[in-house]
Homo-oligomer: A and B are copies of this chain.
Amino acid sequence: MGAARFLSGLVDVVDPRRIVAVVNTGDDANLHGLHVSPDLDTVTYTLAGAISRERGWGLEGETWTTMEALARYPSRFSWFSLGDRDLATHLFRTQRLADGAPLSTVTAEIAAAWEVEVAVVPVTDDRVETMMDVEDEGEISFQDYFVRRAHDVAVRSVRFRGADASRPAPGVLDALATPGVVVICPSNPIVSIGPLLAVPGVRDAVTASRDRVVAVSPIVAGAALKGPAGRLLAELGHEVSVVGVARLYAPLAATLVVDEADAALAPAVEAAGMRCLVTPTVMRGPDEAAELARAVMDAA
């Protein structure tokens, strides 16, 4: 996840206690009876240095005893694996939510347990579900699309069920209103950034801060580095390039950071209404993540 990796670089450049990570919960799901928050956990595990670098989700050195045992049963979620140690996080979260704790409180407890100093905040404590209208099947949940179908299916539209009635979690609007840099991380604009903006008040708060908002393009040289962002953008009628990204983000952010591979497109980004910063954006490791974070902070 580009956003988590960017944050792991940002903490080398900015005091982590001054960073608020507002995280997508549109791909949260109830699976195996548990409340699973993939993006929140990826951010927390990454900042804790515990993420599986190979998989990009879940914990390093994980075992799969429970999932292997689950194969005995006719579970309708056999396609969704959770590691044994990762399961503890979902058990704790599910229990706390059942006790009535808001997701933002539970998320802070989980981050604290991993000694993460960044404030990891779900964009909302309410249930907002990213629903994918896909060919042949109709509307399915994000995990259905992303994991079960391995995002190998044409998407006709995306909506965020429950968004209209949702409210930003405590701290979200304050963080956006506080002077400082707002970064739109290099994530999927449709299904990672989209749900954030769908929560009433968030888009307006970002727009109001536009001068100090910096977006990092998730598209490099006409493709996403990982995941379905490229295909999704195309299917939904957007240009799969930094220019397409600029057209999406121009109302929200003054600056777009693009990779050196896209230097030639800087004028077109500017023409789309964004200042364009060209710098290496591909984060192969922590050093590159920190370099990118430094460039983003300098750009603002």
Contact = CB atoms under 8 A, between A and B. Distances in A.
Contact of A66 (B35, B87, B97): B87
A98 B35 CA distance: 12
A165 interface: no
Interface in A37-57: none
A74 B33 contact: no
Most buried by B among A63, A66, A72, A74: A66
A113 B74 CA distance: 8
B66 A84 contact: yes
Contacts of A69: 84-89
Contacts of A140: none
A79 interface: no
A146 to B, nearest CB: 19
A260 interface: no
Interface in A83-120: 84-95, 97-99, 109-110, 113-114
B88 A66 contact: yes
A14 interface: no
B114 A72 contact: yes
A18 B105 CA distance: 52
A282 interface: no
A72 B88 contact: yes
Given A113-B74, A114-B72, A34 B84 contact: no
Given A32-B92, A66-B88, A70-B92, 15 more contacts: A33-B33, A33-B97, A63-B84, A65-B84, A66-B84, A69-B84, A69-B89, A70-B91, A72-B88, A72-B113, A72-B114, A73-B92, A73-B109, A73-B110, A76-B99
28 contacts: A31-B95, A32-B91, A33-B35, A33-B90, A33-B98, A63-B84, A65-B84, A66-B87, A66-B88, A67-B88, A68-B85, A69-B84, A69-B85, A69-B86, A69-B88, A69-B89, A70-B88, A70-B91, A72-B113, A72-B114, A73-B92, A73-B109, A73-B110, A74-B109, A74-B113, A75-B92, A84-B84, A87-B87
